[in-house]
Amino acid sequence: MKESPLAAELEPFIANWSDRDGGQELANYVSFLNELCDLLGVGRPHPASHITDKNAYVFERAVTFRTPDGGTSPGRIDLYKRGAFVLEAKQSRSPVRPRRSLSRAISSPRKSRSLCRAAAARRRVPGTC
């Protein structure tokens, strides 16, 4: 069976980004996401405007966070696409685990949900897995 073009590009992408030590989120996330967009065949985010309402698909979109006491504070979303998603990049400082563990988690829905719940508990963020 002939390998798909995506599969041929996927392994080098994974190898390149799996080799990175943790803790360099700010230095790496834009490059990683731009390369991921290229791999998936979707457009890269647009240059940001100083007019926030025009920023429909950008890195570092300005937002105003509302606090429980009614106050506000300025913030940024790492990658924003209006009507589609919000992405916050996180890179662990922990050593990279072998990909075999990830492969097993992906192949087992029960294991995937279990890992998701454990990760959400560690971050103290309730989540639906």
Q: What is the pLDDT of residues 65-122, one digit of tens each?
A: 999 999 999 999 999 999 999 999 886 666 555 444 444 444 444 544 555 555 545 4
Token duo for residue 87: 């992405």
Q: Which residues touch 123 (CB under 8 Å, ≥6 apart)?
A: none
Percent of the chain with pLDDT over 90: 41
pTM above 0.85, yes or no: no
How many residues in the chain? 129
Written as six digits, the tokens of 50 are 């100083």
In angstroms, the CA 74 to CA 66 distance is 9
Q: Answer for the pair 73, 65: CB distance below 8 angstroms, yes or no.
A: yes
CA angle, 109 then 110 then 116, to 5°: 85
CA 91 remoteness from chain centre: 9
